[in-house]
Amino acid sequence: MSLFDKKMKSGFCKLRDVAGETREFVVADGRGGERVFSTRVVWAQDTMKRDSVANAHGVYLADVQCTFDERDLPRVPTEGEYLESPRFIKYEIVDVTVGSGVITLSLLKITTKGVRQ
């Protein structure tokens, strides 16, 4: 890891310690199963400013940006996968950004009928 990446990771860890929260997650483990765990993340959910995300399936307004330490996930998720946080509250992953030892996911909340909100 370069000096720049180390400093960026250190900055994320400090932000997570101050502004982060501990949340429960359910993610695919990559082997057909799921992993349930709790970890401290930066969970940014600001209804006044939603980030637009463009991918192969369209343009979305992400409901949440969630940033993890890369060691907290069993693998890097891909766009189109789902995660739950907390259990039974489902989000579609519409964008994945990896760098400096952290993974940022842009999430779109799924309603109880399986429709994007």
Residue 23: domain span:
3-109
Q: Is residue 115 part of a domain?
A: no
- pTM for the full model? 0.80
Residue type at 74 in one-letter notation: P
Report which of 63, 55, 57 is spatially closest to residue 83, judged by C-alpha positions.
Answer: 63
| 104 domain residue, yes or no | yes
Is 114 a member of any domain? no
Specify if 116 maps to a domain: no
Question: Is 97 within a domain?
Answer: yes
CATH code at 70?
A: 2.40.10
Q: Which of 44-48, 62-66, 85-89, 93-97 has the lowest mean pLDDT?
A: 44-48
Q: Provide the pLDDT for residue 92.
A: 92
Domain count, the chain: 1
Whether pLDDT at 48 is above 50? no
Question: Is 33 inside any structural domain?
Answer: yes
Residue 15 covered by a domain: yes
Whether residue 99 lies inside any domain: the answer is: yes
Q: What integer is the mean pLDDT of 27-42?
A: 89
